[in-house]
Structure 1
Amino acid sequence: MKVTLIGIDLAKNIFQVCGVNQAGKSVFNRSIKRVQLLTFLRTYPDATIAMEACSGSNYWGRELLSLGHDVKLIPPQHVKPFVKGNKNDRNDAFAICEAAQRPNLIFVQPRTLAQVDIIITHRIRERRIRIRTALTNQIRGLLSEYGIALPKGRNPLNLLLPELLEDANNQLTTIARQYMRELMEELRAINVAIGSLEKDIKLQARTHPDAKRLMGIRGVAEIIATAAVSFAGDGSGYHGARHFSANLGLVPKEFSSGGNRN
């Protein structure tokens, strides 16, 4: 029986691969090592490949597209309803095949390397901003134990903290000054790291044609433009602006029952 669709449950080293025929009946459902996957799939050049859109799926999607396969990445929430019985790798792989055969399901395109470069820059920046926020909050909280309250905002903190460490008339002890000096150096380092990432984002925005076009919209600058490009690509996967907004969570969800729309 000819295998027309192959569902892959991705993992680190051992993948579960399920192949179904045109009638949707399972032909095989087996475990395959990572290093053997592409060799195995070359024996089914005409098969469509379906995977959950998860960590690693963009890499495998690009690799399989280069081999000539039609690749479908499925959002995980659309696969879950098709898992039958207990959750295990075999059932997950077959559920991916089941979901991929639904005619109205919207699939995700694998991100290009350019998109991945942009999105990892944003993700590292976001993590460092969270670290900076936690660090500034800690500094403010510790200073309050010595009766020192600083104005809101990062700039007052960056400006006034060195002066506080040099002021011998406040209640900071020797050990408090030592730790605050270390925290100040840590804060400076994270500011430099964030600034470097933001320079990279500006460069990416100037060199990416879609980002440059988005920056022609009033209110859209480098960070928003590159974030949109890394998330949505060329936008071909969306029906329109409302669909894109809904995917971002900017449009209220519908929860209707018994003829009542909410």
Structure 2
Amino acid sequence: MENIALLGIDLGKHTFHVHAQDKAGHQLWRRKLNRKELVELVANTPVCRIVMESCSGAHHFARRFLQFGHDVKLIAPQYVKPFVKGNKSDFVDAEAICEAASRPTMRFAAVRNEQQQTISALHRTRDMLIRSRGSAHNQIHAYLVEFGIAISTGPAAIRKLPAVLEANELPPRLVALLEQLRDYVFHLNEQIAVIERELNALMKEDDVAQRLLTVPGIGPITASVLAAQAGDARQYRTSRDFAASLGLVPRQYSTGGKTTLLGISKRGDKHLRTLLVQCARSIMMHIHKRTDAMAIWVRQLLERRNSSIVACALAAKLARIAWAVLGGNAAYVPHPQRAA
């Protein structure tokens, strides 16, 4: 046990596979453990580096193992897959995790605290409720069209549904079903409002999120997601690295000394990338009212580029600004208009 330098753990729901290596990268032992046995083993192991894939349950175990004094690292699963040798098995995966962690240029994910995971859970639940509400809206519209009734889209049409049902002769059972769906939509609206109130309450307690609100276009939802997903952003070397992790920089396909830049890479968190693009579009809607340096830059881009391209470029700039705000202790201060 004294010679252990690296532990690779392949996480599961009930069983966990551990691969131990020394400093030279030689295998010392392999073990299959349950949840209790894993915690006991790590607690009794001399301080070493422990590496896991950044997946379900990884952040919980990382926090537990950090309490024992270990150096805990999390790796994105896509960085581990190239190191899997031969046929896949749990022990081979654990060995591949050790192999990937041994690379000097490997990128690791930050360990999230409980509040960050709670905020992420609230956002995922909110997204699920919004998708369910959209499905219920579509179902109501589809049923009415089947009976020759076309209503407008949006929440206002659902509120006017009783008047539509009164003005048209429909089967009683269908009317009851539509009313049930309408009540379901109202219930989802209430649940979404409850979660948004909870997020706003958490925002008021978070100094980082309050600083993010000073960035143009970023509202409470985007600020809370940024605070939860990026933390203090110290795991990113530069602001460009942070923007690249969100998939907001061009995808490169270069060979033979010729540089070829394609569309944005769309890597990383799709939800956060979507929110930043929406923030960029909200700025562009009122760009004529702004006089700072960012507004001038956006207007110049709009003269020669499509609005969608400008929105992605502005989203990348907002991500860079957010990185600076997350890594520092000051709010965003817009640059004044540059003299001609």
CA distance in 1, matches of 2:243, 2:69: 32
- In the TM superposition, 1:117-156 aligns within 5 A as 117-154=118-155, 156=156
Q: Show CA shifts across 1:140-197 (max 9, x none).
A: 111111222112222x2232112223x2x41322222111111111111111111111
Indicate if the aligned counterparts of 1:205 and 1:226 stay in contact, CA closer than 8 A: yes
CA distance in 1, matches of 2:208, 2:253: 35
CA distance in 1, matches of 2:41, 2:242: 36
- Does residue 97 in structure 1 map to residue 98 in structure 2? yes
Q: CA deviation at 1:43?
A: 2.7
> TM-score scaled by structure 2?
0.74
Q: Secondary structure at the match of 1:110?
A: coil
Indicate if the aligned counterparts of 1:146 and 1:171 stay in contact, CA closer than 8 A: no
CA distance in 2, matches of 1:210, 1:222: 12
Query: Residue 221 of structure 2 corresponds to which residue in structure 1?
Result: 223
Q: Decide which of 244, 250, 253 is 1:252's aligned counterpart.
A: 250
Q: Show CA shifts across 1:76-113 (max 9, x none).
A: 01101111111001110011001111111111121101
| Runs of 4+, deviation exceeding 3 Å | none
Query: Residue 231 of structure 2 corresponds to which residue in structure 1?
Result: 233
Q: CA deviation at 1:255?
A: 2.3
Q: CA deviation at 1:22?
A: 0.4
In structure 2, what residue type is equivalent to 1:194? I
Query: Residue 56 of structure 2 corresponds to which residue in structure 1?
Result: 55
Q: Decide which of 199, 202, 205 is 2:203's aligned counterpart.
A: 205
Q: Secondary structure at the match of 2:251?
A: coil
Taking only aligned residues, the RMSD between alpha carbons, in angstroms, comes to: 1.3
Query: Residue 322 of structure 2 corresponds to which residue in structure 1?
Result: none
Query: Residue 158 of structure 2 corresponds to which residue in structure 1?
Result: 158
CA distance in 2, matches of 1:159, 1:190: 14
- In the TM superposition, 1:73-84 aligns within 5 A as 73-84=74-85
Indicate if the aligned counterparts of 2:53 and 2:75 stay in contact, CA closer than 8 A: yes
> TM-score scaled by structure 1?
0.95
Q: Secondary structure at the match of 2:233?
A: coil
CA distance in 2, matches of 1:33, 1:145: 54
Query: Residue 26 of structure 1 corresponds to which residue in structure 2?
Result: 27
Please identify, of 120-129 and 240-249, the stretch whose mean Cα deviation from structure 2 is larger: 240-249
CA distance in 1, matches of 2:44, 2:200: 44
Query: Residue 309 of structure 2 corresponds to which residue in structure 1?
Result: none
CA distance in 2, matches of 1:241, 1:149: 49
Indicate if the aligned counterparts of 2:7 and 2:98 stay in contact, CA closer than 8 A: yes
CA distance in 2, matches of 1:69, 1:197: 36
Q: Percent identity?
A: 39
Q: Secondary structure at the match of 2:255?
A: coil
Aligned length: 259
- Does residue 112 in structure 1 map to residue 113 in structure 2? yes
Q: Decide which of 185, 188, 207 is 1:187's aligned counterpart.
A: 185
Indicate if the aligned counterparts of 1:147 and 1:171 stay in contact, CA closer than 8 A: no
Q: CA deviation at 1:38?
A: 1.5
Indicate if the aligned counterparts of 2:43 and 2:65 stay in contact, CA closer than 8 A: no
In structure 1, what residue type is equivalent to 2:126? R
Q: CA deviation at 1:258?
A: 2.9
CA distance in 2, matches of 1:201, 1:60: 26
Indicate if the aligned counterparts of 1:4 and 1:48 stay in contact, CA closer than 8 A: yes
Which structure exhibits the higher relative contact order, with contacts defined as CA atoms closer than 8 Å and separated by 6 or more residues?
1
Give ranges in structure 2 of 5+ residues lacking alignment.
261-340
Q: Secondary structure at the match of 1:253?
A: strand
Indicate if the aligned counterparts of 2:10 and 2:52 stay in contact, CA closer than 8 A: yes
CA distance in 1, matches of 2:241, 2:162: 49
In structure 1, what residue type is equivalent to 2:88? K
In structure 2, what residue type is equivalent to 1:189? H
CA distance in 2, matches of 1:161, 1:145: 16
CA distance in 2, matches of 1:23, 1:38: 25
